[in-house]
Amino acid sequence: MTTIKNAVLVYTESTPNPGTLKFVANKMILPNRSADFQDADSAQQSPLAEALFEFPFVKGVFIASNFITITKDEKSVWHEIIPDLRDFIKGYLSSDEPIVSEEYLKQQADTQSERAAAGDVEAQIHDMLEKYVRPAIEMDGGAITFKSYEDGVVTLTLQGACSGCPSSTLTLKSGIEGMLKRLIPDVKEVVAEEA
């Protein structure tokens, strides 16, 4: 009897940011975590991101659960570069090569341990971001991660399609800030910091 390996399928979805496109796979890439690489130098801990930056038009790579968000340069046109990117991603994911290094995974685990030890308000903020914000933001090909909480001000980092997106300020202020202020009275303001 012959066993047929499940084929990796990759399709694209638009994002609110016209400079980014979401490449969705039918397999998990980075379960329960994400990795954001703003340039080739920052991609050293991800063999996949390093390989994507070899395409001259790739300017940013964001990897999450089952998708990769690519930010392109201003000169390139999506319909011309999608086939090459989709074929490359499909081939890479089929090869079972590492997505990120073991060192990167360890750093992420250490960060999660620090969050678990955070104060009560910070723990509530993390919980709200994980339950309500992360799933919605990932649908648009991005992520917003917790950076700090001090004197009522929550600082978040914009990643993937959210970084540089024209509608990210509206999402941040009207959506996330409004929700956190209603559910956690100690929160007075939410601000964003680019990755």
Q: Residues 22, 12: contact at Cβ < 8 Å?
A: yes
Percent of the chain's residues with pLDDT above 70: 90
Residue 65 has pLDDT above 90, yes or no: no
b/e per residue, 158-172, with b = 16+ CB within 10 A? bbbbbbbbeebeebb
**118 belongs to a structural domain:** yes
* pLDDT tier at 171, thresholds 50, 70, 90: confident
Both 71 and 119 in one domain: the answer is: no
- The model's pTM is 0.72
Q: Which residue has the higher pLDDT, 178 or 116?
A: 178
> Given this model, what pLDDT does residue 111 score?
59
Q: Are residues 26 and 58 in the same domain?
A: yes
Where a domain ends, among 68, 101, 134?
101
Domain assignment present for 33: yes
Planar angle of CA 181, 185, 189, nearest 5 degrees: 45
Are residues 137 and 167 in contact, defined by beta-carbon separation less than 8 angstroms?
A: no
Number of domains in the chain: 2
- Highest mean pLDDT range out of 76-85, 140-149, 164-173? 76-85
**Coil vs helix vs strand at 54:** coil
Residue predicted with more confidence, 122 or 110: 122
21: closest CA among 93, 92, 83? 83
Judge if 88 and 120 occupy the same domain: no
Entry field: residues in the chain: 195
State both tokens at 18.
């016209």
Do residue 87 and residue 114 come from a single domain?
no
CATH of the domain at 189: 3.30.300.130
Give how far the C-alpha of residue 86 lies from the chain's centroid of Cα atoms, to the nearest Å.
18
56 and 116 share one domain: no
Q: Which domain holds residue 183?
A: 104-194
Neighbours of 65 (CB within 10 A): 16
For residue range 95-110, what is the model confidence (pLDDT) as tens digits? 988 998 888 877 776 6
Residues 95 and 109 in one domain: no
* Same domain, residue pair 130 and 60: no
Residue 23 within a domain: yes
114 shares a domain with 78: no
Does 1 map to a domain?
no
Buried b (16+ CB within 10 A) or exposed e, 142-154: bbbbbeebeeeeb
pLDDT over 70 (residue 191) = yes
Compute the average pLDDT of residues 74-100. Answer: 94
Indicate whether 40 and 83 sit together in one domain. Answer: yes
